[in-house]
Amino acid sequence: MLASFPIHTIKRSILKMHASIPDKIIIREYSVHTKIGYTVEERTNAQRIIVNLEISIDPWQSGPREGDLSTTICYATVKNQIENNIKNKTWILLEELALEICSLIFKEFARAIEIKIQLRKFVIPDTKWVGLEFYRTRNCLKHET
């Protein structure tokens, strides 16, 4: 005979948000190809770049409503925006590419307040990958351009 457990339902959960802890949209191991490298030889063919993103969003702006994608940041839209804006360009430094991606996200998504981005390349022999990791806020990026 099975034990009888009370069933609890919560129709609406109200959470107190801490002002210093933003919500995050996370994209891991996104693979994109673009021409990038310091030497002309490196830029001859498109290289695979792995993008890892954490996009912090302001939980105090109008929050996501049930089933309403327009109130949040869509993963697919971020991916498509990145791909459409970088695949046909040529880059010399990963740093330039990282800043371009951050600028694009801040421009397209008003709720984005901070971005942690990691880019990986696979060009140095005897290494699994090389890359960089940046952390940018909406305010600090305005001063870099």
Q: Is 21 helix (H, G, I), strand (E, B) or coil?
A: coil
Whether the CB-CB separation of 28 and 50 falls below 8 Å is answered with: no
Element (H, E) at 96: helix 94-108
Q: What is the pLDDT of residue 14?
A: 46
Q: Is the pLDDT of residue 41 over 70?
A: yes
Q: What is the pLDDT of residue 9?
A: 45
CA distance 83 to 79: 6
Q: Assign residue 125 the CATH number of its domain.
A: 3.30.1130.10
Examine residue 39 and state whether it is found in any structural domain, yes or no: yes
Examine residue 9 and state whether it is found in any structural domain, yes or no: no
Instruction: Tell me what the mean pLDDT of segment 59-75 comes to.
Output: 69
Q: Is the pLDDT of residue 3 over 70?
A: no
In the numeric block, which tokens belong to residue 95? 């740093």
Examine residue 2 and state whether it is found in any structural domain, yes or no: no
Examine residue 6 and state whether it is found in any structural domain, yes or no: no
Q: Which domain range does residue 98 map to?
A: 23-142
Examine residue 127 and state whether it is found in any structural domain, yes or no: yes
Examine residue 53 and state whether it is found in any structural domain, yes or no: yes
Q: Are strands 90-91 and 23-36 parallel, antiparallel or unpaired?
A: parallel
Examine residue 40 and state whether it is found in any structural domain, yes or no: yes
Q: Per residue in 10-38, pLDDT tens?
A: 444 444 545 567 789 999 999 999 999 99
Q: What is the pLDDT of residue 88?
A: 86
Residue 27 CB partners (closer than 8 Å, separation 6+):
51, 52, 53, 55, 75, 78, 79
Q: Is the pLDDT of residue 139 over 60?
A: yes
Q: Is the pLDDT of residue 1 over 70?
A: no
Backbone angles phi, psi at 108, to 5 degrees: -85, -25
Domain tally, the chain? 1
pTM of the model: 0.78
